[in-house]
Amino acid sequence: MDEIEVEAVDSLDPGVARDTAEYVLYGGKGGVGKTTMAAATALASANDGTATLVVSTDPAHSLSDTLEFDVPSRPARVREDAPLWAVEIDPDDALSQAGMFGQDGGFAGGLDSLLGGAAGDTAEDAAMMPGADEAAAMQLLLEYMDDERFDRVVVDTAPTGHTLRLLELPEVMDSMVGRLMQLRDRLGGMMDGLSGMFGDGDTADEDQFGDLDAVKERVQRLRAVLTDPTRTDFRVVLVPEEMSVLEAQRLTDRLDEFGVPVGTVVVNRVMEPLADAVDVPDEAFVEPNPEGCEFCSRRWDVQQAALAEAQDLFREYDVKRVPLLADEVRGERPLRVVAACLD
């Protein structure tokens, strides 16, 4: 096997991943290991004494399997000996509970009130609207980011396309709310006149339009958080294959357009000895053997080409490598190994 330059960490003691960002988001193509990275980072952060919440916004959740804990749709404490919480955002639950517009009916009720019945009366009706689930997830995510119980929030995002829609949402919502606020201003005098003719001025419509100011403030606050490099670190995950590298490049380019700070690119499942990346003197790990396995040799050649391309494309980022493990990454011990590689 060709030599690869990697920097081994000192140990696997708790706290190996000492993140400083308040919000760490993992994104990338589906199946590259975002959940593993998020769970490992959150676990190491909690082991370091930082109150940490790990959030999955991917509709196809696997966080429960990775943590070996039945993660609910509301933040629940995973460990008693470390301040670690987890939540899997359920799209249907988010639609009914997020309360995007401050209405009693949640997301669906708020849209229905503001748009004159166009959204329908149920979460199922609201779900038919493009971006409704991302909007509800955004609202819950902002709620968790504001939760005083947590000093750090680690997010396992949905695959690239869903993630980009989530990041585009503040702009979409800002535009929509801006138009509704303009409509409110234009109709303000008319509504006052109608109120004087047919009732008092304390109308439901005024209350509904008044909520737009709060919505606009929430959208602006989320954008401010996501684009603040002192608070947010978006980490792009890929595997050493050409298609994955190219998609990761497109994602980093789009994130740059949004002003979202990307600090780290993680190359997962690299067929290199684990001992080259992390100090594991007391344990033996099964390693790929390109010298005696033709399949391993061919896969290593593919990875070498992809790694070279990734090193060239992502020169400006902190590139981390996580070796391919023979066993599935589930539970604390393998997650601590992964966290050590990310440190």
Q: Percent of the chain scored above 70 by pLDDT?
A: 62
Q: DSSP assignment, residue 140?
A: H
Report how far residue 48's alpha carbon sits from residue 98's, in angstroms, rounded to the nearest whole number.
Answer: 31
> Domains of the chain: which residue ranges?
23-342
User: 195: phi > 0 → left, psi -120 to 50 → alpha, else beta; which?
Assistant: alpha
Q: What DSSP character marks residue 134?
A: H
169's tokens: 């949402």
Whether 164 and 170 have beta carbons less than 8 Å apart is answered as no
The answer to whether residue 85 scores a pLDDT higher than 80 is yes
- Given a cut of 80, whether residue 6 has pLDDT beyond it is no
Q: How deeply is 10 buried, as exposed, middle or buried, from its count of CB atoms within 10 A (0-12, 13-18, 19+)?
A: exposed
What are the pLDDT digits (tens) for 12-43?
443 333 457 899 999 998 899 999 999 999 99
Contact 264, 251 (CB under 8 A): no
- Tell me the two tokens of residue 72: 């609910």
Q: pLDDT tier at 71 (50, 70, 90 boundaries)?
A: very high
Give residue 237's pLDDT band: very low, low, confident or very high (50, 70, 90): very high
pLDDT at 264 over 90: yes
* Average of per-residue pLDDT values in the chain: 76
Match 């689930």 to its residue by tokens: 133
DSSP structural state of residue 12 = -
CA angle 97, 51, 154 (to 5 degrees): 60
- The confidence score (pLDDT) of residue 223 equals 78
Residue of 291 and 175 predicted with greater confidence: 291
50 has a pLDDT exceeding 90 = yes
Separation between Cα atoms, residue 223 and residue 219, nearest integer Å: 6
Fold of 23-342: Rossmann fold (3.40.50)
Residue 155 and residue 163: Cα distance in Å, rounded? Answer: 11
Strand, coil or helix: what is 235? Answer: strand
| φ/ψ (deg, to 5) at 51 | -65, 115
- pTM for the whole thing? 0.77
